[in-house]
Structure 1
Amino acid sequence: MSQDYDVDVIQMSDFRLPGGTTSSIAEEVRAQSAAGLSTAVVHVAGAVTNYPLGWSAHIRRILDLPGVRLCTPHTRLRAKVLVIRHPTVLLSTRISLERLEADHIIIVANHAAIDAAGTQHYDMAATDAKARAAFGKAPIWSPIGPVVRGTMLEQTQEIPLRDTDWFNIFDFPEAFEQRTGFVEDRPVIGRHSRPQRGKWPDTSEDILAAYPNSPEYAVRILGGAQIAQRLIGHVPESWEVIPFGGEDPTKFLRRIDFWVYMHHPDLKEAFGRAAMESLAAGCVAIMPPYMEELFGDAALYAEPRDVQALVDEYRAEKEKFLAQSRRAQDFAHSFSPQMHVDRLAELGAVPTHGTDVDPAPRNDRSADTTHRAVGPTLLVTVGPQSEKTQLALAGGSNNDDLIWVSVGDDTQTVPDQNVSLFVSSARRLNMDDEAWNDYFVARLDNLLAGLRPDRVIYSGVLPPQALEDCLAGAPVEKVWMQQPIDNPEVGEKAIKSALNFHTVIDTDAPVNEFLQGENH
């Protein structure tokens, strides 16, 4: 077998996941880029979510980093290390992985195999067997922390685990300076998490014990409080509730003294990314006792009923509070990007210019664009196109890798001579919208299966629902060349539709590069 490599590292997962999974991938890709390692990011749709979501913003922000390529499972790739996050993604995906090769296959187990209620969240034996069949070698199972390791050993002791845990890494902003005092003249308790049932205690009594409805405390919640409201019957007057994504966590954490995280008794946190963020911010964190195995003396531990006493104790002694705050920050900063570069080097992925991590830009849109699609591009146009787009389409016709599908939205539509496939609109076929959507989905499904494009470009005003449904979870780069929108109501819908695309460009942007193969 040739020892030539296409990239150093392949990062593979379901990029629709909005939380810690994709955030952790993004941090690792930044570290790889900063160290001079080349990376292919590969999306595979699994059964981890059933919602027609676009890719996580965490992933979209790293695609322009130096040395990063966006590929699909259909791209033939050989790497030194393949990192797969979320065992369920590998086990449940129906996409063939036969074109991906790597010297080492890492399965990062980023959540508990079995929860406190005994519910199994993924089958290690079945996943291990699928990895061996797909890649021809045994994977290296890598829990992200001791809690996950314990649940994996509880499920089976027949599958070897990596000696050391694959801890998440964190490149914290400089905005997190050491604290010098309290935020307000009363204790400020806060928390930030996704709005899920498991992230909250299961009784109103425990919720109010940890997050009191009292003028003596300020309580700030980032991530919504629907679960708590359902259990309590109302949102307590003393709470400030901010929806999920409504405030930058960095700014939010600077507005609280005590980060209190009490959750459902059946939940076992794998690592606690939100917890690590709170420690880096210098909050005094209070967590369930089992998390001491993860965070040691960097945090405090209590049951919900004991939270207020701990808050009062540390509020009463400023120096004690500040000492705990410094311990928290020291702990968090030990999980640096260099840790990730070092473990990749142990697996043979050694940076060409050494192993030290240089600071990488968080979102450098001017960085190189080697991530762009390398296979066919499927272009779907619907309705009238601006003059600039028409000129770009004429130039793009010279690109042999461009497959142009035009949807005729008028009974008098005559297909452009460069169109590869003309699809009649509902009006032209005299169909109702539901029947035409089914027809269009069937046509697109056949095209995606036959062409295996790496990029799909939609050019039009609002994307047809059939197009969004068809592309949901598809392992392709999705680009929307947005035609002029005059109707304000349509504009509001366009904002929601844009979330389902990786790139949205307007008619004033240089669209030629997407159509003429300049990034291929």
Structure 2
Amino acid sequence: MSSTDARTVDVLDVSDLRFAGGTSHSIAEEVKAQHAAGYSTGLVHVNGPLVAKVCPINPQITNEVELGHAELLVRRDPIRAGVVVIRHPAVLQDAARQLPEIEADHVVIVANAAPHDIDGHEHYQPELVSEVARRQFGPEPLWAPIGPQVRAAIGSRVPQGSLLDSDWVNVIDVDAWAVERDGWHDDRPVVGRHSRSSPQKWPSDAETLRAVYPVDGSWIVRILGGAEPAEALLGELPPTWEVHDFGAMSPHEFLSGLDFFVYYHDPKWVEAFGRTILEAVASGIPAVIPPHFESLFGPAAVYAEPRDVRRVVDDLFADRAAYDAHVAQAKQQVRSRFGYEAHITRLTQLIGAPAAGAEASPPAVEASSPYTGTPVTAVEASTGADTEGSGGQASSVFADVPGVPPDTAAPRALFISSNGSGMGHLTRLLSYASRADTELEPYFLSLSQAAAVVETFGYQYEYLPSMTATGLAPGRWHAYFAATVSQAIERIRPSVVVFDGTWPYEGIPAVRQAFPDVRWVWSRRGMWKAGQGADRLVKSEWFDLVMEPGDFAASEDRGATAKAEAARLGPVTLLDLDQLDDRATARAELGLDPDAPMALVSLGAGNINDTSGDVGASIAALWSLGVQVCVTRPEIAAGGGGHRDVHVVRRFPLSRHYRAFDLAISACGYNSFHELLRFRVPTLFVPNRATALDDQEARARFAAEQGLGHQLPAVTVDAAKPLLADLLSHGSDMLARLRELDPGNGAAEGAARVVRLAG
């Protein structure tokens, strides 16, 4: 294509411009920002697979065209663009043949949604979309997830190096959304939500629904977008709710009549971004939303579990000063992180200054607002990608891995972790891999939503959503598991697969039959609750080797695995004692007082201010002894986690910094139990009795009976104080006995067994 024959624009937006919701709104907002900064914008419409009915281009986009902010390119003439921005991968996958000839310096695929719906239906295949983009435009495409949830969903399925470091978040004209507010709208909180009336956009059970949108008249609840899913759950629409159909009024008008915006959805639904949340905050009201949004919106919103929503709203309603302070800082966060300047910065970092277009005018943001994203960097095209026959479930995290390793290369191992309720399975596999990676190449496939930590160890990984995360029926999910594992094996050609979990999945025999030369290992911890899980042990026949990571409390093991055949290892921890930071370094790394007594609280979710619960009582007892408190992030219930005297620690592996702590209050999961004892942290153990299989009570009992620590079935201030005081005074002496009981870290032996089996 001759550049003189082509229509030239700085930015070419390609999408199905009929989308009714956030995708079109986002395009319109970016067009405004681009025009204000002097960039020229072209729009190319294609009929994608997600809009089933015949309808016109979204009015917001039409308005931008009519204002001269963008040009709608409808002819088949060739186009030359600095960057092509694809909005929604499914559009490119299904409708690329509708595109004219396009030449581009850069291509960005904005992933507005995860590949799968809540019912498991796959709207697009990232592997295929990447290949289509290369074929259509030439340059290696960059993938831009719209937020952390989508990043987690696609991160393992796009070519290595193609994922932008920062999310392509939606942007908003903060000043245009601002609403003047004089005080409360009523003597009760006026709470509202705005979304499409889709089941996945609403809570999936009546209890949660009533908790976040009360039906008793204590709040005025207003809804824009219809409430059919709520009506189906409750049997009727509550008479205290005010419900308006989608489009009955503008979102700006709707938000101007609220004091709070509360948005909760089906927990299985991956909410890509939540543009209505951004609009609410920009309008000047607190957005109360689930904690998983925190990685996206940060301090701009208030986070609460459903059970805590009423308290959070009522507390802010009772304290106008606190309400106003939150609104002020939240709007500043929105301005700096989601304002027009943020978009122009990422665009400038990608293609430089405008090459053509209208005279630049100042964007509607403060010039001093910082852009907090990581700079965009171009990536070289990857080679060796195997996309043929990838199928609906294939992940491209291993796309640059040659199909068969040469004879001189190290054998490969695929480590598969189940999801569990914490980090135990994934951490054990990392324990083996990090001690074997000089003799084999580790690759990871994990059901844990924390799978991304694998990358910090330098290993490639793929995230496989669990049955719970996908919402699929068991039979369908096991087939999905088998297909995904088979595709991973086909790509990386491992000599051995290591599975860590307590219930091997039904798809494993099918995978073994398809790849009979691959050896399989089951890493299966013990300490199962008595009388449970015996039927799972028959699955040992599926494996060439069963390894059991040891347990300090093995003498208390009364479960099905106690006498089952296995290669028994020493207790497995990711680190050894000599790998820990010294006390000063650990405290500096965590930002802690170098001299004050310090405790770690690592229990189940709870409110730090509620002394009737384990977490709150633990903190109160420690404070009464003059001990400062650190909590791991998952243990803070939203709405109760902002206390200035509680330090939040968010490191992995946190055990590297255990010398920072004088004592701990912890549950008795495999990882925490063995790390705290092996690394000599005096601990009050509080077993989680709600586990399905793990016998935490037996571990806590063992520690107490052996004088290695103390235990409580539940924490009260009065019961905990004398035990904690004793740990402060004598904890180090109590743990000295562990030298006699610790046979050494079994991770090295486990790694050696895997290496031998890999051959």
Per the normalisation by structure 1, the TM-score is 0.65
Match of 2:344 in 1: 341
* Identical positions, percent: 42
Structure 2: distance between partners of 1:157 and 1:290: 26
Match of 1:168 in 2: 170
Q: CA RMSD in A?
A: 2.3
Q: In 2 relative to 1, CA 73–148 (structure 1 residues): closer, same or farther, beyond 3 Å? A: farther
Structure 1: distance between partners of 2:251 and 2:283: 10
Match of 2:385 in 1: none
- Of 233, 236, 239 in structure 2, the residue corresponding to residue 237 of structure 1 is 239
Structure 1: distance between partners of 2:352 and 2:117: 34
Any conservation in 1 of the 2:190–2:221 contact (CA below 8 Å)?
yes
Q: In 2 relative to 1, CA 346–193 (structure 1 residues): closer, same or farther, beyond 3 Å? A: same
Shift of 1:173: 4.2
Shift of 1:260: 0.6
Mapping 1:353-364, distance limit 5 Å: 357-358=362-363
- Of 265, 285, 288 in structure 1, the residue corresponding to residue 287 of structure 2 is 285
Any conservation in 1 of the 2:104–2:138 contact (CA below 8 Å)?
no
Any conservation in 1 of the 2:29–2:172 contact (CA below 8 Å)?
yes
Count of residue pairs brought into register by the alignment? 360
Structure 1, unaligned stretches of length 5 or more?
Answer: 361-520
Q: What amino acid is the match of 1:357?
A: P
Structure 2: distance between partners of 1:175 and 1:271: 18
Match of 2:353 in 1: 350
Structure 2: distance between partners of 1:44 and 1:262: 32
Q: Deviations over 1:283-315 (max 9, x none)?
A: 111111111111122212222222112111111
- Of 243, 247, 250 in structure 2, the residue corresponding to residue 248 of structure 1 is 250
Structure 1: distance between partners of 2:190 and 2:247: 20
- Of 260, 263, 272 in structure 2, the residue corresponding to residue 261 of structure 1 is 263
Match of 1:448 in 2: none
Shift of 1:26: 0.5
Query: What SS does the corresponding residue of 1:347 show, helix, strand or coil?
Result: helix
Q: In 2 relative to 1, CA 71–169 (structure 1 residues): closer, same or farther, beyond 3 Å? A: same
Any conservation in 2 of the 1:342–1:355 contact (CA below 8 Å)?
no
Structure 2: distance between partners of 1:128 and 1:3: 25
Q: Deviations over 1:57-91 (max 9, x none)?
A: 12111112335221136231111111110000000
Match of 2:222 in 1: 220
Mapping 1:386-425, distance limit 5 Å: none
Structure 2: distance between partners of 1:135 and 1:105: 8
Structure 2: distance between partners of 1:194 and 1:257: 21
Structure 2: distance between partners of 1:271 and 1:91: 22
Query: What SS does the corresponding residue of 1:81 show, helix, strand or coil?
Result: strand
1:10 aligned to 2:29?
A: no
Shift of 1:3: 5.7
Structure 2: distance between partners of 1:227 and 1:113: 23
Q: What amino acid is the match of 1:347?
A: L
Mapping 1:115-264, distance limit 5 Å: 120-156=122-158, 158=160, 160-174=162-176, 176-177=178-179, 179-264=181-266
Shift of 1:158: 3.8
Shift of 1:27: 0.7
Report the more deviating stretch, 245-254 or 2-11.
2-11
Match of 1:380 in 2: none
Q: Deviations over 1:452-487 (max 9, x none)?
A: xxxxxxxxxxxxxxxxxxxxxxxxxxxxxxxxxxxx
Q: What amino acid is the match of 1:344?
A: L
Any conservation in 2 of the 1:82–1:105 contact (CA below 8 Å)?
yes
Q: In 2 relative to 1, CA 94–333 (structure 1 residues): closer, same or farther, beyond 3 Å? A: closer
Q: In 2 relative to 1, CA 99–136 (structure 1 residues): closer, same or farther, beyond 3 Å? A: same
Structure 1: distance between partners of 2:117 and 2:56: 28
Any conservation in 2 of the 1:337–1:357 contact (CA below 8 Å)?
no
Structure 1: distance between partners of 2:18 and 2:192: 28
Structure 1: distance between partners of 2:343 and 2:3: 23
Q: Deviations over 1:316-355 (max 9, x none)?
A: 1111111122222112222221222222222325236886
Structure 2: distance between partners of 1:261 and 1:184: 21
Match of 1:459 in 2: none
1:294 aligned to 2:299?
A: no
Query: What SS does the corresponding residue of 2:273 show, helix, strand or coil?
Result: coil
Match of 1:485 in 2: none
- Please tell me whether Structure 1 or Structure 2 has the larger radius of gyration of its CA atoms: 2
Query: What SS does the corresponding residue of 2:65 show, helix, strand or coil?
Result: coil
Report the more deviating stretch, 155-164 or 17-26.
155-164
Q: What amino acid is the match of 1:339?
A: A
Match of 1:475 in 2: none
Any conservation in 2 of the 1:44–1:73 contact (CA below 8 Å)?
no
Match of 1:318 in 2: 320
Match of 1:309 in 2: 311
Query: What SS does the corresponding residue of 1:279 show, helix, strand or coil?
Result: helix
Query: What SS does the corresponding residue of 1:61 show, helix, strand or coil?
Result: helix
Shift of 1:115: 6.1
Q: In 2 relative to 1, CA 64–296 (structure 1 residues): closer, same or farther, beyond 3 Å? A: same
Any conservation in 1 of the 2:33–2:340 contact (CA below 8 Å)?
yes
Report the more deviating stretch, 238-247 or 45-54.
45-54
- Of structures 1 and 2, the one scoring higher in RCO (CA 8 A, sep 6+) is 1
Q: What amino acid is the match of 2:10?
A: D
Structure 2: distance between partners of 1:359 and 1:321: 26
Q: In 2 relative to 1, CA 309–218 (structure 1 residues): closer, same or farther, beyond 3 Å? A: same
Match of 1:382 in 2: none
Any conservation in 2 of the 1:144–1:165 contact (CA below 8 Å)?
yes
Any conservation in 1 of the 2:89–2:110 contact (CA below 8 Å)?
yes
Any conservation in 2 of the 1:37–1:67 contact (CA below 8 Å)?
no
Q: In 2 relative to 1, CA 169–84 (structure 1 residues): closer, same or farther, beyond 3 Å? A: same
Structure 1: distance between partners of 2:229 and 2:174: 30
